[in-house]
A = this chain, B = another copy of it.
């Protein structure tokens, strides 16, 4: 039931059978309906979400009042607002299911209890956060160094299936160009 998370953890650290038992006894799988929010701006984010099936996104409302996607998460990604989680401050972000999804939602007290019983998981979460931060730095680099067209082709080459799964306006906002420009690119008019 939690195979995807266990496999993801074991890419980075090794777990004893007894540790797997502890973990499994603490986890719960939740179903999130398409378009359902697990975090709204202004709420304190007290939970980390591991996506075992489906797709989630983190977004903001930009200065024009338009939703702007900052991050997608698909299978085997963690999604949360780390600043709100650590500082216990209201979040600046929304987190929403793009597709009907299955997630393992770990609330802070549960996760902290798990970390006390299996301290080596600290290393796993460290690597997850360091890689996510590195990927975010690369995303900023792409925004600053590639044209809109280059960003689209780079993204769709890296994630060919994903481009089919997600509404175009979300990808357009993630890549920071308009939905109209996206239509032109896809129609080969750019």
Partner-binding segment picked from A14-22, A23-31, A136-144 = A136-144
Cα-based distance from A52 to B61 in the complex (angstroms): 37
Contact of A62 among B115, B129, B145 (CB under 8 A): B145
Cα-based distance from A126 to B86 in the complex (angstroms): 11
Question: A100 in the interface, Cβ–Cβ < 8 Å?
Answer: no
Residues from chain B with Cβ under 8 Å of A83 in the complex = 131, 134-135, 137-138
Number of copies: 2
Question: A93 in the interface, Cβ–Cβ < 8 Å?
Answer: yes
Cα-based distance from A17 to B75 in the complex (angstroms): 43
Chain B residue nearest in CB terms to A123: B122
Please give 14 more A-B residue pairs, beta carbons under 8 A apart, in addition to A70-B144, A140-B140.
A58-B137, A62-B145, A63-B144, A82-B133, A86-B127, A86-B130, A92-B138, A119-B120, A122-B126, A129-B130, A129-B133, A132-B133, A136-B136, A136-B140
